[in-house]
Structure formats: structure tokens, C-alpha cells
Chains A and B, each alone.
Chain A
Amino acid sequence: EAQVTQNPRYLITVTGKKLTVTCSQNMNHEYMSWYRQDPGLGLRQIYYSMNVEVTDKGDVPEGYKVSRKEKRNFPLILESPSPNQTSLYFCASSTGLGETQYFGPGTRLLVL
């Protein structure tokens, strides 16, 4: 089944404790992206990747890192989480720019 998986689905952590949210797609898509969803703000892009080893900042990259060492994986790293990073996070992939995006199920993060 074609899908985007994310782990974990739910995470509660404390300020400053490094964490990684994994994202994997099995559709051989080149373009991958991370979004955060906050009430009233819709989806805001954090980082995106055009292909292996090619990543760039989106609209709200502060406090986040990403890597793309393999085509299928695109982890999101929070080196020192803060409470303002409490949010719902989505990973998405597509065959290219402007094409239909396929979203993971989301990761709900609470930073205390």
C-alpha cells in the first residue's frame, strides 16, 4: 500500500530534550516536506527536500533541522524543543513541485 508513515504519533517531552520524528514514504517520491498545523493558521511549511541531500527552509524553520540521506526517509529533528513548538506535525511527499501531496497521519507533540 502506498503510504507515508510517521513515528511517533504522539509525544510528550520537556523543554530542551532533543527529539526526532521519523517520516518514511514508499512511493519513490522525490519531493518531501514537513508542515506544522496550528489552530487558525492552517499548514505552515517547515522544511522541504527536492531529493537526496537537497533540503531547504520553508516558512518557519527556526528550531528545526532535517536530513535526507535516503530517498524514502526525511526525519525532523528538534535539537532543543521549546513550548512554542507544541503542535501537530505532518510529513508529506509528492512526485514533484505542485503535484498532489500525500500526507502522513500526523505527530502530535506537546513540549512542557
Chain B
Amino acid sequence: GNSVTQMEGPVTLSEEAFLTINCTYTATGYPSLFWYVQYPGEGLQLLLKATKADDKGSNKGFEATYRKETTSFHLEKGSVQVSDSAVYFCALYTGGFKTIFGAGTRLFVKA
């Protein structure tokens, strides 16, 4: 069946470090892919998305490229800030009635 696998957290980085959070998926067809972010005490909000192979989603310095050949959608940021501390969810939509979410990866950024 369709699924999303994210790297386990927590991930702890120092400010200005490079961030990668891995996400791989299993899906039939051509899914749309999403990254959502959940800041402490808040609901999830869309960070970026990509709807077809080789698309790059970007927002707030974060980027992710839809790689169909490796079924991946890894999230990257060149220089993280303390304010990026949050839980990040990878998600996919393959049609049907629901979006499938990964388990989430918690990021801590130290000053």
C-alpha cells in the first residue's frame, strides 16, 4: 500500500547548520508530495509541496525536490535558526479520499 517513511528524530543542530530530513515514499501512480511543519502548541501548516517529478518546492529557505527515481522528497535548509525548531511531517496524496502522513521528525536548533 501507499506509505511515507521519515527519518526518526529528534534531530539536534546548532544554529546556522545545514539541515536534511529524509523522506521516502511508496505509492502507485504519481503522487503529490507535501512537507508540513508543526510549531510548538500549534496545528500543522503547509511548508512546501510538489505535484510532479523533478518539481522543487521552496518556502522560508526550505527546499525539497520530488525525485521519482529514488521515490524521495528530502527536506533541506542551508542555515537553520532557533525559530525552525518544530516537528516536520512529510505527506503524500495519491488520489482517493485521504492524505498519508509520515510519523514526523522533531528538530531542535540550539543557539
B-contacting residues of A (Cβ < 8 Å)? Answer: 4, 33, 35, 40-43, 45, 48, 50, 56, 58-59, 90, 92, 97-98, 100-106
Contact between chains at B32 and A103 (CB < 8 Å)? no
Instruction: Please report the C-alpha to C-alpha distance between residue A102 and residue B36 in the assembled complex, in whole angstroms.
Output: 10
A41 touches B103 (CB 8 A): yes
Main secondary structure of the interface of A (DSSP, over half): strand
**B98: which of A58, A102, A103, A104 is its contact (CB, 8 Å)?**
A58
Residues of B near A4 (CB, < 8 A) are: 43
Contact B97 A105 (CB under 8 A): no
A-B pairs under 8 A by CB, number: 50
CB of B85, distance to nearest CB on chain A (Å): 17
Which range contains the number of B residues in contact with the other chain?
20 to 34
Name the B residues within 8 Å of A97 (CB-CB). 93, 95-97
Q: Is A98 a contact of B93 with CB atoms below 8 Å?
A: yes
Are B96 and A40 interface neighbours, CB within 8 A?
no
- The CA-CA distance from A105 to B97 in the complex, in Å, is 23
- In the bound complex, CA of A59 to CA of B99 (Å): 11
Give Cα distance in the complex from A56 to B97, angstroms: 9
